[in-house]
Structure 1
Amino acid sequence: MDGNLSKEGMTKDLESMKQAGIGSVVFLEVNVGVPRGHIDFLSETWQDHFAYAVKEAERLGIEVILGSGPGWAGSGGPWVKPEQSMQHLVASRVTIKGDGRMQHLQLPKPQPKKPFFGEGALTPELREKWLNYYQDVAVLAFPSIPNRDSIADIEEKALYYRAPYSSAPGVKPRLTMPDSSVIPKQMAIQSKQIIDLSDKLQQDGSLDWEAPAGNWTIMRFGCRNNGAVTRPAPMPGLGFEVDKMDSAAFRAHLDHYVGALLKKIGVPKPEQQGGLKRLHIDSWEMGAQNWTANFRAAFKKRRGYDPQPYYPIYAGYAVGDGETSERFLWDLRLTAQELILANHAQYLKQYSHDNNLKLSIEPYDMNPNSDMDLGAIADVPMAEFWSKGYGFNTVFSVLEATSIAHIGGKQRVAAEAFTAQNNEAWKQYPEVMKNQGDWAFAMGINQFMYHTFQHQALADSLRPGMTMGPYGVHWDRNQTWWPLVEGYHRYIARCSYILQQGRTVADILYLTPEGAPQVFTPPASALSDDEGLPDKKGYNFDGCSPLQLMGARVKDHRVVFPSGATYAVLVLPNTTRMTPALADKIRTLVQDGATVVANPPHQSPSLVHYPNGDTELKAIVKEIWDGPMGKPVENKPVGKGEIVSGTSLYAKGELYPSYDVVQAILEKKGIVEDFSGSDALRYTHRTAADYDIYFVSNKTEHHVTTTITFRNKGSQPELWDPLNGQRRLLADVSEQEHQLTKIPLQFESYQSYFIVFPKQNSGMKGEKPSRNNVSLKTVQDVQGLWKLTFDSRLGGPKKTITSNLIDWSKSSNDSMKYYSGIVRYEQHFDVQEILPKQPVYLDLGQVKNMAKVYVNGKDLGTVWTAPWRVEVTDVLKQQDNVLKIEVANLWVNRLIGDQQYPDDGVKDGKWPQWLLDGKPRNSQRVTFTTFNPYNKNDTLRTSGLLGPVRIVTYEK
C-alpha cells in the first residue's frame, strides 16, 4: 500500500492466510486509498521487504504471484524511455497550390494524441517527456480532395483509443466492416497518385519540392508516445507503459523490475512449495497503440504488402475507396495483435518459464487484441467478476477465461473474485457471497483470487485498518469474522480442487469472428435471464477464436482439440466476411464429419491478395454451401459432415443463432440436454478418468425439492457435500433411455452438491444408499438464558451479560448496540428425551453473521451458510452439556457508532500526527480505518445469534 510496509505486518498477514486456508497471493503495490508511506517502491529497503515476504511465503507454503509492473494496469515504470514506450503514428498536414516550381515548405510537427486517462495522469516530468518525444516516419503528398468523407470511428479502428468494455457505455465488443459504398473511389486518395517526399524532409521540418500543378495535401507522419502511464502505481513507480510490440523494450523493463527482484531473491526452485511461482498480466487498462519502430517491416513480412501508401488512413482519409481502407485497417489491427502476442505475452511466458515461473493473464477490458487469443497464451487464464450490486458486469470475462481454459486444456482457470466499489464497506461476508461463488464455479472458474487483501502495516489495535479506498471486498486479517473464515475457505478449496479434475463437458462451440479487438459474447438465449449472474442452460457451451480453431480436428463427428475438449456442433458468427484460410479450415472440418451451423460468407476482410483472396473464398464457399439458401433452416450433407444454414438461421442483428435453433439441431442428432430439472438450479459437468462430476447448486433462498435428469448412467451415483466433506450413495435412482439418469434431490437455501457417477472400479463399494429427500424433526429446543462475553477492547460491555437471544443492534446499551467483533455465547442444558440411534444435529436457526460451535469442549467447526447445523451425534450427552458458540458480526455497526465522536484519522491525505509520532491514541473511537463512508444516523445491521437453537434429526 504505497510504501506502507512492515515486516511484522507481512508475517502476520501471511500467517493469517495460512491459518485461514489461503494458498496463493497476487502481489501488487498501488497508491489507492492511503497516505504515502516512508519506504519508496523498489528502493533497497523495499526490495529487502519484498525478499522477506517471499521467504515467509516459502516457509508457509504460500504461492506468490507477481504483477508484471507497478500498479495493476500493465507493465512499465520510470525506467521506460520514451522511445521504449507505447507509440502512436500521428500526422500533420498542409495544403499548397502547385505550379511546377520549387517551393520551400515548413511542415508542422504532428502533435500527440491526448492520453486516454487525460494529461492529469502525467507528472510534470512525464508530461515534458511526452510532449518532447518525436520521431519522423514519412512524408506523403497527394492531390487534395475537396469535401472529402472521413472514415467513421477512425480513432478506434486505427487503434488510437480503446475504451474499457466492462465499464464505459457503448463500447463495441468487435469492429464490423461497412459496405464498400460508404466512401466511393472519387472521394478517396488513389495510391498511384501518392508521392513519397520522405527523403526531402529536413530535421527542422522543412522541405523543398517542385509541386506539380494543382492542389496538394502534404502529410508529415511521425511517432509519438501515447501518454499511457503505470496506474495506479506508487509515485516512485510512475512511468510510461512499455511498448507492447517490442520485445527488446519489454526485456529492458523486465530487467529493471522482475529481473532486479529475481537477483534479490534468486531464481525460484521448482521443488519449492511456496514463494514466487507466477508472473501476472492484469486486466488490460493501458489503452491501444498502433505503431512501433519496426512496424512497417513487420507489416510487410506478415501481410505481404507495404503499408506506407495507406498511412493517410490513420488520419481518416480513404485510400483507394472505403472498402480498401477498411480492409487495410483490418490488416493493421491484426498485425498489431500479432506483434503484441509474440513480443509481449508470449515473450513474458517464455521469460517466466526460463525462471521456473508460470504466467497468468487477465485478457480483457481496453484490450486492442482478441481477448481469447491473448488469454490463450497464459498458463493460467484469469477472469474478473465484481460482487453483485457493487460494481460492473464482467460476466463476459468469465465466459472468455473458462472457454480459453477448456479449449487449451488448462486445469486451472482463476478469477479476480468479488471485487467491489460503490461503498461495499464491509457489508459482505461468506453467507451472502456463496450464491455468486457457486455461480462462478458453475460457469467454470476453479480458483478464486479475492480482491482484495490489503497489507496491514499498522498496529493490531488500529482496526479495520488499511483499505484500498472504496475498492474491493475486505478480505484480510482485520475482518471481524476472520478467525471463523477457515470453514468457508475449506468449502471453496474442496469445490476448486474437484472442479480442476478432468475436463468440462460441453456440446456447443461458438466461433468468434476474425479480427481484433474481439470480445466473446454468446447469444443471450444460451443463458438464463439474470443479467448479473446468468447461468448456462442444459447444453453447455464454450467460445473459440479462429486462431484456436486451427488446432482442431474431427473424431466421431465431434470437433476435438488436442486438450481433449470435444463439441457436437460448431456455430459460426453471422458475418459476411471470412479469410480464405479460415474457410479452408471449416471445409476440412465439415468434410471430416463435423456439424457446422453457418450461412456462407461473401468476401474476405483483408487486403491480402485482394481481389484474388475473394475469388479463392468464393470457390471454397461454393464447395461447402453449394446451391442457394431456400429454406428457413436446412441440413446439407458435405463429405462426412453437414452444414446447417438457412434464411432464418440468424435473427436480425444477432451474432449467433438462438439457443432453440441449436437445441433442435442437437436433438435431431440424438443428443439430449446434459442436465435438466428445476429452474432454481444451476450446474456444470466435468469428466475425469475415474468419475463424471456434476456440480449442482440452488440459486434461490428457498428450499427446493425436485427430480433432476443427468445425461449419464451405468453406475451408482454418489452425493458429495463440499460443505462438510461427507460422501454417500444415493437411493431412488432410475435410469432412462438416451443414457439418462433421474435422481430426486432436495436443497436448502443456496445449497450445493457434487453428484458423482463413478467409472469402472471407482466408487463407494459396500455402502448402503440413502435417500436425499428427507424431513427434519425437532428433538428439543435449547432454551433458557445465555451468557454473552464481549471483547471490551473493541468497545463491548466489560462484564458478561446474561440474556435471551436478541439482536445486539436493538440493545439500549450502546456498547452492545454498536459492537462489532466476536461474542462468546455459553449455555448448559440436559437432553430431555432419549437420543435417537441415528445422526443428531445442532441447528442454530438465524445467525448474523458467522458462528463457531463447541459442544462439551469439542470444536465442531464453523457454520456460515444454510443449513446452519453441525452434527453432535458423538459429543452430545443426556445431561450436563456445555454449549459454547462464538458469533461474529460485521464492522458496520461500530463504524456507524464511532461517527458520534471526533475524527482523529487520516485528513488531507496525511496520517494523523499521533500515529506518525508513535504516541498513544487519545480518542473515544474504537475503529481506525483509511475509509469510512458511514454517518451516525445510518441503519445498524442485525447482529448476533438469533436462533431458535434446536437439537434435530431426520425423519426415518
Structure 2
Amino acid sequence: MNIRNIIKISVLCFAFGNLSAQNPWPKATNTAQPWTRWWWMGSAVDEEGLDKQLTTLSNAGFGGVEIVPIYGAKGFENKYINYLSQEWMRMLQFTTTKAKSLNMGVDMAVGTGWPIGGPQVNEQDAATKMIVQTYEIQPNEKFSEKIVLKDEKQKNLKTIKLDIVTAYNEKNEAVVLTDKVTQDGTLNWKPSAVKWTIYAVFAGKTLQKVKRAAPGGDGYTLDHFSPNATKDYLKTFDKAFGNSNYGIRSFFNDSYEVYGADWTANFKEEFKKRRGYDLSPYIKYLVGNEENEIAGRIKSDYRETMSELILHNFAENFTNWAHSKNSRNTNQAHGSPGNLLDLYAAVDIPESETFGNTKFDIQGLKRNLEDINTKEVPDINMLKFASSAANITGKPLISNESFTWLTEHFKTSWSQVKPEAEQIFLSGINHIFYHGTTYTPADVQFPGWLFYASTNFVPENSLWPDIKGLNSYIERTQSVLQSGKSDNEILMYWPVYDQWASPKGKDMAFKIHNIEKWLHPTVFYENLEKLGKSGYSLDMISDKMISEAKFENQNIQVSKNGGSYKVLIIPQLNYFSESTLKNILNLAQNGACVIFQSEPKDVPGFFEFEKRKNELQSLWNQIPFQQNGNLKSATFGKGKLVLSSDVEKALEFLKIEREKLTDTGLRFVRRQFDGGKFYYVVNHTSKEINQNIPVNYIGKQVVLMNPENEDFGIAETRNNSVKVQLKSGESLIIKASETPDNSIAKWKYIEKTDAPIVLNQPWQLTFKEGGPELPKSRILTKLQPWTNFTEDASTQSFSGTGIYTTTLNLKKKEADDYQLKFDKFYESAKVLINGQEAGIVWSNPFEINVGKYLKKGKNTIQIEVSNLMANRIRYMDQNKISWRNYHEINFVNIDYKPFDASNWKVQPSGLDGEIQLIPVYFSK
C-alpha cells in the first residue's frame, strides 16, 4: 500500500478532550441513555433477580426499563405471579424503588402481551365488528325468514345487537327497516312487487384475545372506539394502584394490532352526529363490493369517524388517566385505523417502531442476506409520523421500539445496531427503547430466558462486555437530540382523505408492515424522499393541526412549545377539505407562505358534497394567482401562495434555503437551543468526507463534538462552511452558537499520516469468559480468528471473550497521535494499552486512537474480543441441549418457523487480517 492511499484511508475526526474547557455536551439525564423493553416471562420475578438485573443494566449504561409481562417458561409455573395481584404490585414497587436508587426510570405496559385487553374486558367492552347478512326477496315473494344472527361463534354472546336493516330495490332505492324488525327477528314489512336485497348489520365481537398474555392477563382485546370500554379497562389499574403511581414514569400502550374491529356499539349515532347524516340508507356502499364514487365517499366518512372515535375515546382518555396518576403515557399509534399524526400527538410520548434491517452503503458493514428478513425494511419517513406529531405539538420526547428482528437470533453485532439507531435519530426521534431484554432468574443456564422476536440485549449475550460502547454513543447523541427543540422549517400536509376515499375494502389500518400499499405509492411520499435528500427539514401536519395553527413571529406555529415553520406545502392530492383550505387562507392572510403542488379537485365525504365542492372552488378562486415563470404565485393578505408541480422550485422562489451539505451524501437532523443550533450529521455513504461542508447557520463559533468518544474542539469555518472529516459509518455533532467559549481547544484535523506499523509479530490468545468451555490458550505466529483452529472442537462452539496479547517496541514516539486500525473484526473489543483501558471498538470503521497510552519502548497491547452467541447456540442445537422451553409461541426464527441452529455455519470469531498502528499528524 503506498503512502498516498494510507493518507486517504486514514483521515478521521479527532480532538483531545479538554478538561479545563467548558464542556459543550448537554447534561445527560436518564432519558438520554437508552431504555429497554423488559419482558417479565410469566412475571416469574423475585427481589433478588430484579435487584441483580437492574444493577447490571445500570452498569451497562441503561437509563430505564419498560415492563411488559408476557407468557412464561415451562417448569416455572409455581413461580408465576398474576398480573396486578398484590404480589405483582409488591414486585413493581421493589423495581421502581431499586431503579430510583440507580437513577433509572421505569415505564410499564397497561396490559400483558399485546394488544391491550385482559380479564377485565367483559363482552360489552370487547373489540367489536360488523357482521353483515344479506337476504334476497324475489318479486311478489313473501319474506318469512327471520333476521337473526347465523354466526355460530357469536350465538352464545349476550351483547349481539341488530344495528341496521336496509332494503334496496332494483332501482337502488333504499328503505330503512331497522325499526320494523321485532325482538325475535320477524320483519314487519311488505315489500313491493320488485326484487329487493336486504342488508342486515349486527354488532358482533371479534373474539380476539390478548396475544402472548402473561398469567392474569388473558382475556378479550379492548374496543378502542368505546369511551366506556376504555374507562372500564383503566378502572382495574385504579384498583391496583390506588392513589399512587408506584413510581411509574409513563404508562405504555403497544401498537394497535386489533384484527377485524370495525364497529362499536353506538357507531351509528356517532356517525350521524359527526358526519351530519344517517348511515343506514347507504350501508350497502360501506359493506358491499361496489367500487364507485358513492362507495368511496361513504367509506371516507366511515374511516374518518373511526379515526375520531379512537382519538377521543381511547387516546385522549388514556392520556387524561395517566395524568390523573401524576404519570405520563406512551402510545404506538401505527396500525390504527385513524389519522396517525393526531393519534401520536394526543399522548405525552409518541412511540414509533422499527422492524427489520436497512441496507446501508457503509464500507465493511456486515449484512448477511440469510440472516435478515428482506421483506421488512425500516423507513425513515414512516418514523417521521411520530416525530412530526411531537415536534409540531411540543412534546420533548419521541420514543422508538428499536431493532425488532434486526437479524436472525444470536447474529446481531453492535456494529449493525449503530446505523439503524442513527436512521432513527435522523427521523427526529430522540428516545430509543431496545427490543429488548428478558428477565432471567439467576439459576437459569445460558442463554437465559429469551423473547422470540427480539435482538438480544441481555446480560447473557456474549457481546455484553462491550455494550457500553453502543450505549454511551446513544446517550451522547440523545443528550443533544433532547436539547432545545426541533428546527425543521417546512410543514407538509398528509392527504389522509386520499387514503380514506379508496372505494376498496372497509376499515383502513395504517400499519408499518404494509407501507408499500398506503405510503410508498403516493406523491406525498415522493415529496418526502426528494426534499429530504435535497436537504430540507420537514414535519408532516394534519387537518386538525392546521385548524389549530397560527402565524406568529413570521412563522407558522401550532403549539407555543412546538416548532416554528416557514412554509406549508400541500402536495398533489384529489380530496381536500374546504374547511382546511379556509384555515390555510386565514394563515396566509396573516402572513404565512403556502405551496400548492396542484389545485384541489374535490371534497371528501358524502354529506352535501356538491355544495361543499362549490365552496372549495369558491375559496380557491379567491386566490389571485398570476403566472411567474414556471409557477404561479399570489399575494394573499400579508402572505404568499404558490402553485407549482415542482415543490423545490417553489421553495427556491420563496427563498427557503436547503442545507446543501446533503449534496455530499451526508444526512442530518437539526435542533435549536437558546443562542444556537445543533447539527447531528451522519455519513452513511461508502466514501470518506474530507472537505468543508456548507451549513445554513454558523453563529459566532462552531464546535465539533464526537458522540463516539465525547471529544470536542473548535472547528475550522470558511464562508458559511465547516471543515469535516468523516469516514464511512461515522457521525459528528456540529454545535454552532452565538456565544464563543475561548477556553475550548481547536479541533484536531488530520493533516497527514506516516507509514503504518503492521502488528505482524506473534500474539498470545487466551480466553477469559464464556462457554460451553474455554478453548486452550495458544501462541499465534499469524493473527487469525480462533474459529480457524478446527482441531480444537471448543473453538467452534465457544461464545465469549478471547484475549489477543502482544508487545510492541515503539522506537520513537513523535506523531501527534496513533490510530489502531483493524482489518477484519468479529465482533467487538475492549483495547488495553500498557494495562490502561483505551476504549471499546464496536462499530465501523473499527479503529481507535491510542497515542496517549503508548510510550517509547516496550508496549503491551491487549485486545479483548467478544464474539456472537451463534456458535454456542449451534453447538447446543447440534447436541440436543434443551434451551427453548416456553409456553405459547416457544421460539421461532426470523421467518417465524421453528428455530434450529444445528445447520448453521460456524461464525468467524476474533481478529483477522492486519492490525495497523498508524502515526497521525494534526494540522497546526
Deviates more, 1:888-897 or 1:791-800: 791-800
Which one-letter code corresponds to 1:953 in the other structure?
V
Shift of 1:945: 6.5
- SS for the counterpart of 1:475 is coil
Determine the C-alpha separation between the residues in 2 that align with 1:937 and 1:332: 50
Q: Which of 38, 54, 67 does residue 96 from structure 2 map onto?
A: 54
Shift of 1:873: 4.6
1:772 is matched with: 749
Matches of 2:57 and 2:823, distance apart in 1: 29
Range moving further from structure 2, 214-223 or 375-384 = 214-223
Distance of 2:583 and 2:496 partners within structure 1: 13
Alignment of 1:84 onto 2:67: no
Q: Give the Cα–Cα distance (whole angstroms) in 2 for the partners of residues 876 and 594 of structure 1.
A: 60
Distance 1:908 1:623, change over 3 A: closer
Match of 2:22 in 1: none
Q: Distance in 2 between matches of 1:306 and 1:857?
A: 79
For 1:905 and 1:503, the matched residues in 2 are separated by 47
Whether 2:250 is the aligned partner of 1:250: answer: no
- When residues 770 and 906 of structure 1 are mapped into structure 2, their CA distance, relative to the original with a 3 A threshold, is closer
Q: Distance in 2 between matches of 1:53 and 1:908?
A: 24
1:238 counterpart residue number: 218
Partner of 2:271: 299
Shift of 1:251: 1.9
* Cα pair distance change 1:851/1:756, threshold 3 Å: same
Map residues 931-950 of structure 1 onto 2, 5 A cutoff.
933-936=900-903, 938-944=905-911, 947-950=914-917
Query: Over residues 663-691 of structure 1, what are the superposed CA-to-partner deviations in whole Å (9 max), with x where a residue is unaligned?
Result: 22222233332232554321122111132
3-state SS, counterpart of residue 751 of structure 2: coil
Question: One-letter code of the match for 2:436?
Answer: T
Q: How many angstroms does 1:545 deviate by? A: 0.9
Please list the CA deviations of residues 692-737 of structure 1 after superposition, one character each: whole Å capped at 9, or x if unmatched.
Answer: 1111111135433233111123422111111111110112x211xx
Q: What is the TM-score when the length of structure 2 is the normalising length?
A: 0.83
Change (3 A) 1:632 1:405: same
Please give the alpha-carbon distance, in whole angstroms, between the structure 1 residues aligned to 2:74 and 2:641.
Answer: 59
C-alpha distance 235-205 of structure 1, shift in aligned 2 (>3 A): farther
Name structure 2 gaps, 5 residues minimum: 1-39, 359-371, 501-507, 511-517, 891-896
Give the Å deviation of 1:852: 1.4
CA distance in 2, matches of 1:301, 1:98: 36
Aligned to 2:341: 372
Question: What residue number does 2:33 align with?
Answer: none
The C-alpha deviation readout for 1:403-445, integer Å capped at 9, x for no partner, is 1122112221111111116x61221111222222222222212
Q: Report if the CA contact (8 A) 2:462-2:770 is conserved.
A: no
Q: Extract unaligned runs of 5+ from structure 1.
A: 113-126, 146-185, 270-274, 650-660, 736-740, 913-929
Task: For 2:354 and 2:861, locate their aligned partners in 1 and report how far apart those are by CA, in whole Å.
Answer: 39
2:832 to 854, 858, 861: 854
Shift of 1:789: 2.3
CA distance in structure 2 between the partners assigned to 1:291 and 1:910 by the alignment: 29
Per the TM alignment, residue 866 of structure 1 is displaced from its structure 2 partner at its CA by 4.3
Comparing 492-501 with 612-621, greater Cα deviation is found at 612-621
When residues 208 and 36 of structure 1 are mapped into structure 2, their CA distance, relative to the original with a 3 A threshold, is farther
Q: 1:197 to 1:933 in 2, by over 3 A?
A: closer
Alpha-carbon deviation of 1:477? 0.9
Q: Is the aligned partner of 1:730 residue 2:715?
A: yes
> Does the 8 Å CA contact 1:852/1:885 hold for their aligned counterparts?
yes
User: Which residue matches 1:503?
Assistant: 485
Seen in structure 2, the aligned counterparts of structure 1 residues 625 and 725 have a Cα distance that, compared at 3 Å, is same
Structure 2 residue corresponding to 1:63, chosen from 105, 109, 120: 105
Q: Specify the SS of the correspondent of 2:343.
A: helix
Residue 794, structure 1, aligned to residue 779, structure 2: no
Alignment of structure 1 residues 767-846 onto 2, 5 Å: 767-770=744-747, 772-777=749-754, 780-782=757-759, 784-791=761-768, 794-797=771-774, 799-804=776-781, 805-811=783-789, 812-833=791-812, 835-836=813-814, 838-843=816-821, 846=824
Aligned to 1:262: 241
Q: CA deviation at 1:500?
A: 1.4
Q: Following the alignment from structure 1 to structure 2, what is the Cα–Cα distance between the partners of residues 891 and 639?
A: 65
Aligned equivalent of 1:488 = 470
Deviations 1:554-584 (A, max 9, x none): 3465433323423333221323332221121
Return the letter of the residue paired with 1:774: E
How many Å separate the matches in 2 of 1:869 and 1:577?
A: 54
Distance 1:774 1:848, change over 3 A: farther
Q: 1:144 aligns with which of 144, 169, 178?
A: 169
Q: Which one scores higher on RCO, CA 8 angstroms, separation ≥ 6?
A: 2
Q: Which moved more, 1:471-480 or 1:396-405?
A: 396-405
- Which residue of structure 1 aligns with residue 874 of structure 2? 896
Match among 698, 722, 745 for residue 724 of structure 2: 745
Q: Secondary structure at the residue paired with 2:622?
A: helix
Stretch of structure 1 that moved more, 670-679 or 35-44: 35-44
| Whole-Å separation in 1 of the counterparts to 2:786 and 2:188 | 86
Structure 2 CA distance, aligned partners of 1:580 and 1:22?
A: 49
Confirm or deny: 8 A CA contact 1:130 1:227 kept in the other structure.
no
Distance 1:863 1:63 in 2: 28
Give, in whole Å, the separation in 2 of the partners of 1:88 and 1:953: 68
Give the one of 169, 173, 177 matched to 1:196. 177
1:85 partner letter: A
Offset, 1:839: 4.0
Could you tell me which amino acid in structure 1 is paired with residue 751 of structure 2?
A: V
Residue 233 of structure 1, CA deviation: 2.1
Change (3 A) 1:467 1:99: same
| Aligned AA (1:368) | P
Q: Work out the CA distance in 2 between the residues paired with 1:931 and 1:53.
A: 34
Q: Does structure 2 retain, via aligned residues, the 8 Å contact 1:284–1:363?
A: yes
3-state SS of paired residue (1:600): coil
- Report the more deviating stretch, 606-615 or 571-580: 606-615
Q: Which residue of 1 aligns with 2:841?
A: 863
Q: Indicate yes or no: 2:429 matched with 1:445.
A: yes
Q: CA deviation at 1:803?
A: 2.5
Q: Is the 8 A contact 1:226 1:289 kept in 2?
A: yes
Q: 1:871 to 1:906 in 2, by over 3 A?
A: closer
> Which residue of the partner structure matches residue 159 of structure 1?
none
Distance in 1 (CA, whole Å) between partners of 2:759 and 2:315 is 60
What is aligned with 1:132?
157
Q: 1:677 & 1:334 partners in 2: Cα distance?
A: 38
Per-residue CA deviation, residues 511-565 of structure 1 (Å, 9 max, x unaligned), is 0124455666674555669xxxx96431122211111111222346543332342
Local SS of the residue matching 2:741: coil
Task: Tell me: CA distance 1:768–1:621, structure 2 relative to 1, closer, same or farther (3 Å).
Answer: same
Question: Aligned to 2:415, what secondary structure does the other structure show?
Answer: helix
| TM-score of the pair, normalised by structure 1 | 0.80
Residue 365 of structure 2 is matched in structure 1 by none
- Which runs of structure 2 are paired with 1:355-434 in the superposition (5 Å)? 355-365=325-335, 367-388=336-357, 390-391=372-373, 392-395=376-379, 396-420=381-405, 424-434=408-418
Q: Is the contact made by 2:704 and 2:747 (CA closer than 8 Å) also made in structure 1?
A: no
* Structure 1: distance between partners of 2:777 and 2:320: 61
Q: What is the one-letter code of the residue matched to 2:435?
A: H
2:450 alignment partner in structure 1: 467
2:921 matched to which residue of 1? Answer: 954
**For the residues of structure 1 that align with 2:528 and 2:748, how far apart are their CA atoms?**
31
Q: Superposition pairs for residues 870-909 of structure 1, below 5 Å?
A: 870-906=848-884
Counterpart residue number, 1:167: none
Amino acid of the structure 2 residue aligned with 1:241:
T
Amino acid at match of 1:864: W
CA distance in 1, matches of 2:211, 2:386: 24
State percent identity of aligned pairs: 23
Letter of the structure 2 residue corresponding to residue 481 of structure 1: L
Report the Cα offset of residue 896 of structure 1: 2.9
Structure 1 residues 246 and 947: CA distance shift in structure 2, 3 A: same
- What is the CA distance between 1:342 and its match in structure 2? 0.9
Specify whether residues 404 and 536 from structure 1 end up closer, same or farther in structure 2 by C-alpha distance, changes over 3 A only: farther
Question: SS at the partner of 1:106?
Answer: coil
